[in-house]
Amino acid sequence: MADETADRPPARRPGGRNARVRAQILAATVELVARDGVVGFRYEEVAELAGVHKTSVYRNWPDREELIVDALLRYAEGLASVADTGDLHRDLADFLMGIAGGLETPFGRTLEQAVQPARQSPSVRQALDRVLDQRVAAMRRRVDTAVDRGELPPVDIPFLGEMISGPVHLIVNRGLRAFTRADAERIVAVVLAGIRATAPHG
């Protein structure tokens, strides 16, 4: 008996080719935004750099700003996670090293410049706000766990995030020296010690 499946077309993998094309377009957008900035980004160059047809870009992102927003959010995924190894100090130091590594890339530098609200459209600003919200949410999850375990007193998490990440931005943006693991360890140690020392005692 002949194999009836022989003449059937292969099953289409969900998202297969289109997912790859979208990934190529987003990667090209990241590269172009890193090179030219959000303001200087040219929609027309994406297809050529991505190695896809122009219609693939227009079909997936009819609007230039939607493409930039998706690229910003895709890039930021790597900056919005905090591991839970059971050691809060280590996890926060790792988090700071991840932020520094991201900021030191061309796209990270562009992203940092793009935070200036006067230079951006509302939709790009909203994307940047979402990036920051994701980071705060990741921090909240990890710190809430530490509080539940008794490693840390209850704390204002956005404030904690600003205290530990602020110096990273300062050191990286000044560009006078590299941000090191020793920097991350010192920042976390000082901030956590301050939080524990100033916690109200019931």
The residues spanned by each domain of the chain are 16-70, 75-198
- Direct distance between the N- and C-terminal alpha carbons of the chain, in angstroms, rounded to an integer: 82
Query: What is the tens place of the pLDDT at every residue in 142-183?
Result: 999 999 999 999 999 888 988 998 999 889 888 778 899 999
Question: Tokens 């008794």 correspond to what residue?
Answer: 150
Q: What pLDDT, on a 0 to 100 scale, did the predictor assign at position 134?
A: 78
Give the chain's residues under pLDDT 50.
1-14, 118
Helix, coil or strand: residue 164: helix
User: Of the CATH numbers 3.40.1160.10, 1.10.357.10, 3.20.20.70, 1.20.1250.20, which one belongs to the domain with range 75-198?
Assistant: 1.10.357.10
- C-alpha–C-alpha distance, residues 18 and 53, integer Å: 12
- C-alpha–C-alpha distance, residues 95 and 81, integer Å: 7
| Distances in whole angstroms, Cα of residue 95 to Cα of each of 82, 83, 105, 139 | 6, 8, 16, 9
Return mean pLDDT, the chain. Answer: 82
Sign of CA dihedral 109, 72, 75, 100: positive
Question: Tokens 């956005």 correspond to what residue?
Answer: 158
Q: What pLDDT, on a 0 to 100 scale, did the predictor assign at position 4?
A: 47
CATH superfamily of 16-70: Homeodomain-like (1.10.10.60)
Question: 16-70 and 75-198 share one CATH topology?
Answer: no
